[in-house]
């Protein structure tokens, strides 16, 4: 529509067609799992033959919301059992980058009826002229494509594992925030007190331990780089529980030299016992929430043979 590539998302879901259809075509259920919409309301039809019109709204924070309208028409291929829902949508809101668009949802049942391939393809026109088109290509289109795929996987977890969408979001949010906080803490501890300002105390502790006589500065630099690199590993591999187990071992090992060098350190503010203990707890929380999280990476982003 605007020269950019349309958004396509596809996911195989282990559920029967009836369940999937209900949770995607019932507004009260649809708005629970789809990150793109806060509210969806059907407008009552005057005749059975007309398309189903609807109103939608998306909260964007600070008390603001974007509202729009759309219409959808469903069809079924009797021989294959495939269902297709074609829709058009648009918004007159001055806050909306999307002016109007359209696309479809397609449901392809597999033999035996135990799973369905669920896919969508849609495109839209933007407002705000060339600037809006640039913002769409650089940021908005990748973001809304990710939100679509992430939402499809949240729907899959709801159908396959019985995890309510609100619970999926809470666990995912806790996990992501915890992982990023851990990464920043590890990188800070590696870069600032060991590389930028070793004379603030870290170098004295290492010298007092007496383990690396004459090589304290070099050893501290290596430790700093290792901790900073580990921070990146934590955020990149936050779902790998082996990373958190390694972190737990490292936190215990790193605290020992400091406490041996200065036994009174345990009573100081934010001492190794307090700081490392807090990090251990945070690693435990991130590890505990690493299972069955929605992920956009579980979806196909290019058309398959079912397209």
Q: Using pLDDT thresholds of 50, 70 and 90, give the confidence band for residue 53.
A: very high
Asked whether residue 292 carries a pLDDT value surpassing 90, the answer given is yes
Beta bridge partners of 41: 55
Instruction: Please tell me the predicted confidence (pLDDT) of residue 6.
Output: 95
Mean pLDDT, residues 120-146 taken together: 95
Buried b (16+ CB within 10 A) or exposed e, 239-277: beeebbeebbebbeeebebbbebbeebeeeeebbeeebe
pLDDT score, position 204: 67
Q: How many residues does the chain have?
A: 307
- pLDDT at position 140 is 95
In tens, the pLDDT along 190-238 reads 898 888 887 766 676 666 656 667 677 787 888 889 999 999 999 999 9
For the segment 83-110, the average pLDDT, to the nearest whole number, is 94
Options 1.10.3430.10, 3.40.50.1000, 3.40.50.720, 3.30.530.20; CATH for 7-163+294-298 is 3.30.530.20
Residues 205/209/210/214 CA torsion (nearest 10 deg): -30
For residue 90, the surrounding DSSP H or E stretch is strand 83-90
The per-residue pLDDT for 226 is 93
Domain ranges for the chain, please list them: 7-163+294-298, 171-288
């Amino acid at each position: 529509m605007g020269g950019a590539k349309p958004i396509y998302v596809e996911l195989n879901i282990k559920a029967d067609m009836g369940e999937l259809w209900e949770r995607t075509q019932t507004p009260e259920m649809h708005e629970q799992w789809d990150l793109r919409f806060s509210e969806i309301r059907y407008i009552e039809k005057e005749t059975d033959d007309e398309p189903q019109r609807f109103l939608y709204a998306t909260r964007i924070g600070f008390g603001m919301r974007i509202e729009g309208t759309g219409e959808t028409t469903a069809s079924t291929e009797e021989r294959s059992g495939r269902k297709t829902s074609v829709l058009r949508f648009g918004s007159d809101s001055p806050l909306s980058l999307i002016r109007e668009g359209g696309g479809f949802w397609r449901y392809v049942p597999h033999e035996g009826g135990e799973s369905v391939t669920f896919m969508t393809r849609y495109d839209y026109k933007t407002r705000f002229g060339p600037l809006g088109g640039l913002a769409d290509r650089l940021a908005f289109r990748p973001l809304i494509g990710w939100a679509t795929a992430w939402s499809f996987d949240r729907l899959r977890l709801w159908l396959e594992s019985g995890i309510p969408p609100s619970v999926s979001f809470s666990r995912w949010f806790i996990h992501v925030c915890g992982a990023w906080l851990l990464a920043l803490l590890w990188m800070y501890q590696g870069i600032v007190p060991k590389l930028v300002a070793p004379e603030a105390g870290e170098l004295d502790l290492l010298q007092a331990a007496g383990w690396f006589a004459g090589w304290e500065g070099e050893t501290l630099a290596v430790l700093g780089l290792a901790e900073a690199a580990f921070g990146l590993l934590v955020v990149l591999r936050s779902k790998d529980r082996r990373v958190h187990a390694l972190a737990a071992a490292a936190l215990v090992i790193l605290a020992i030299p400091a406490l041996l060098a200065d036994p009174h350190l345990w009573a100081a503010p934010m001492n190794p016992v307090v700081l490392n203990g807090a990090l251990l707890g945070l690693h435990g929380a991130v590890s505990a929430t690493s299972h069955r999280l929605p992920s956009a990476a579980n979806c196909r982003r290019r058309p398959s043979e079912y397209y």
